Structures are given as C-alpha cells and as structure tokens.
Amino acid sequence: MGNRLRLAAILCAFWWIPAQADEPASQETVQSDISTREIYIQSNFAGIEIVIFGSVDFSHTPSPDEGDYDVITVVRSPAEPLVVRQKKRVSGIWVNRAGRTFQEVPGFYAVLATRPFKAIAPEETLRTLGIGFSNLDFGKTDRDDAKEAAFRSAVIRLKQDQNLFQEHDDGVSFLGRSLFRASVDLPVNVPIGRYTTDVYLFRDGKLISKNESTLEVSQAGFERAVSLVARNHPFVYGLVAVVIAVVVGLFGWVMFRRE
C-alpha cells in the first residue's frame, strides 16, 4: 500500500538524519505527514482512520521511555458559519426560540496529544495556538456573556456527540527516540474541504517546533457529479430527478400491469 511505503520511506529518511548530522546539539525540529493526503467520499464511505506520523530531528532523548518531548496534533477542517438554536416550551410544545450565529466554527476539529494537553503547555500558549475546545474562538465570541457561553458549550457538546469534535489525551505515541504516530477517526459525516493538521513539538512546556500538512476531503465519482450538478445547475438537476421519477413510474406500470 502507498501509505505503508510512504511511512517506510519517511522512517528510513529520518533514521539516518541524526546519525549524519554534524551537530547533534542543534535545535530539535519536528517533521510530519499524513497517511492519506486525499480522502474521497463515495457511496460506500463509512468513515476513515487517518494516521499522522512524524519525527523529531536532533532528538536528545536517550530512550523512548524518557519522554523529553510532548507532541500535540490538531486536525481541523475549514471554518464555516453555524447557527445554534435553543428550544423552549411554548404552551406545551418545544419551539426554537433564541439563536446565535457563530461565524467561524470548524466543521471538524480534533486535538491529539501525548498526555493531557493542559499539562503539556501553559494555558496562554494553548489559547494562542487554538488548542482545545475551550480555546476555539468561533469568530467573535464574548466569553463573559453567560448566555453566549451556554450557546458556545452547546455547539461543542453537539459537535462532540457527532464525533466531529474530538480530544484525545493519549492520541499521540512515541515509537522510538524520535518517531511518533497519532491516529484519528474521521466519522461518516465529515465535512468536505481542505483540512490542516498542525503538529506542535513541546519540551518543558515550551513550543520548540511546528509542522503543518494538509489533507483534502472531497466527494468523488457519482456523488461528486450529483452534488456539483445540484449546486451549479439546480434546474437541470430537478428536471433530471423528475424524468427519473416518471421513468420509474412507467417502468412499474409496464412491469406489473395486469391485462
């Protein structure tokens, strides 16, 4: 498989770099890549696991168990506007009443870390990097407004229910002195778009290196054709749908009519 080959190639490459390097004392840097750079959603799509693997160059760690380094990986899809509504009981019936629009909510967002990420780095660093649900800003949010906060946490809760927001404290594991891997499940309802995966390398609570890669999630084949036509030529799409329905109806009549 392409993925395995690529992993092997990267493994070999990284294995030799530290040995060849003249200055073992150089600043550590992190390299990373994703098992799959393109994900195509077709009719049989049932979710997919992606693996993010990477390596720490100029690792100072004597053995994998020492754990000088911490890695946090953030996978996110493009932000999109989202409406959150709150139901209230009005004469016995639950009706959508108050609502808030958040302009920038990632469709998918996952934080993977070697250990609880709040213990890896100070809150301020995490906030600047947008690591963790509580540090997402969703566009403009007034954190002090209690009502706004309730809507915010509802978005996070509902996204978590759909597996579209994930936090995994043990999502990244070191395989050797410098090699690590992280895996995350993209559920069946993942939004399409260009995802970014940011890999942050920490030592003693300090960010020492960062690496970014992208992942394209798109519809493919028949599904892509259908949604493209539906979006760009909606009238033609509707017309085709009607023609198909008429043909199915005619077919049913011809097949089953009893003379």
Partner 1 sequence: MLQVYLPIAEVSVNLVVMLGLGAAVGFLSGMFGVGGGFLLTPLLMFSGVAAPIAVATGANQIVATSVSGALAQWRRGNIDLRMANVLIAGGIVGALVGVLLLRLLSQIGQAELLISLTYVVFLGAIGLLMLVESLRVIQKARAGKPVPARRASAHNWIHGLPLKMRFPTSRLYISAIPPLVIGAVVGLLAAFLGAGGGFIMVPAMIYLLRMQTNIVIGTSMFQIIFVTAIVTLLHATFNQTLDVVLALILAAGGVVGGQFGVRAGQKLKGEQLRLLLALLVLGVALRLLLDLVIKPTDVYSIAPLLAGS
Interacting residue ranges for partner 1, rule: CB under 8 A: 41-46, 80-89, 92-96, 99, 101, 151, 154-155, 157-159, 161, 188-189, 219, 223-224, 226-227, 230-231, 234-235, 237-242, 244-246, 248-253, 255-257
Residue whose CB is less far from partner 1, 15 or 222: 222
Burial of 148 (0-12, 13-18, 19+ CB in 10 A): middle
Residue whose CB is less far from partner 1, 192 or 208: 192
CB of 59 to partner 1, least distance (A): 42
Residue whose CB is less far from partner 1, 138 or 202: 138
Q: Find the angle CA(108)-CA(208)-CA(200) to the nearest 5 degrees.
A: 15
CB of 206 to partner 1, least distance (A): 36
- The CA-atom distances, in angstroms, between 243 and each of 161, 210, 234, 235, 246 are 39, 54, 14, 12, 5
CB of 214 to partner 1, least distance (A): 22
Residue whose CB is less far from partner 1, 96 or 128: 96
Residue whose CB is less far from partner 1, 22 or 161: 161
- The CA-atom distances, in angstroms, between 126 and each of 141, 152, 203, 206, 254 are 17, 18, 14, 11, 66
CB of 194 to partner 1, least distance (A): 17
- Rounded CA-CA distance 38/162 in Å is 22
